């Protein structure tokens, strides 16, 4: 129905442990967890503790609408992870949701050129996702309310630009 999928912080705590359990049971031992900011930072932190992985890297991805462009596509913003840091590493990409899957496809593609192996872990995956994540806590076709973004910011900032 039109009901939203609602994730609370408490449920998130359980979800991330179960997601880590799936990774561990599968025998995947990542050297690095790449966190897709911002939602993926929560997931990566939880996975990092649960899988005893201390190497966490943030990756900033922004949906960019070019001037006069009708197509929207995600871009990785600097600083991008150093190719040397990633070479021959087993990587786990962490995000909150694979919706269209375009964000994960971008990061996955970037990794594929640099790393030994890359797999993805998400709390939610939607049916239309371009990327089939190896580890998914729950599948849904609904809009998800995440605990970190369900409420508006406590302050409004205008004209904020991410800098390189």
Give the interface with ligand 5GP as residue ranges (CB under 6 A): 39, 74, 95-103, 143-144, 146, 149
In the chain, the N- to C-terminal Cα span, in Å, equals 42
> Between residues 24 and 150, which has the closer beta carbon with respect to ligand 5GP?
150
Nearest-approach distance from CB 138 to ligand 5GP, in angstroms = 12
Rg of the chain (C-alpha set): 16
> Between residues 26 and 141, which has the closer beta carbon with respect to ligand 5GP?
141
Nearest-approach distance from CB 5 to ligand 5GP, in angstroms = 7
> Between residues 32 and 95, which has the closer beta carbon with respect to ligand 5GP?
95
Nearest-approach distance from CB 55 to ligand 5GP, in angstroms = 22
Kindly give the residue spans of alpha helices, DSSP state H, lying in the chain.
9-25, 39-50, 83-86, 102-112
Q: Which two tokens stand for residue 126?
A: 């939607």
> Between residues 75 and 116, which has the closer beta carbon with respect to ligand 5GP?
75
Distance CA 86, CA 32 (A): 8
CA atoms 116, 117, 122, 124: torsion sign: positive
Nearest-approach distance from CB 101 to ligand 5GP, in angstroms = 5
Distance CA 31, CA 90 (A): 5
């Amino acid at each position: 129905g039109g009901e939203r999928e609602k994730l609370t912080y408490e449920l998130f705590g359980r979800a991330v442990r179960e997601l880590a359990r799936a990774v561990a049971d599968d025998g995947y031992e990542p050297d690095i967890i790449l966190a897709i900011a911002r939602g993926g930072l929560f997931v990566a932190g939880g996975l990092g503790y649960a899988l005893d992985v201390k190497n966490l890297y943030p990756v900033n991805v922004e949906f960019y609408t070019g001037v006069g462009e009708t197509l929207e596509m995600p871009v990785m913003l600097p600083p991008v992870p150093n190719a040397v840091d990633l070479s021959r590493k087993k990587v786990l990409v962490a995000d909150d949701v694979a919706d269209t899957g375009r964000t994960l496809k971008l990061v996955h593609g970037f990794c594929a050129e640099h790393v030994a192996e890359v797999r993805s872990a998400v709390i939610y995956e939607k049916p239309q996702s371009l990327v089939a994540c190896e580890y998914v806590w729950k599948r849904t076709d609904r809009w998800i309310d995440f605990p970190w973004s369900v409420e508006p910011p406590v302050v409004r900032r205008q004209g904020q630009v991410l800098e390189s």
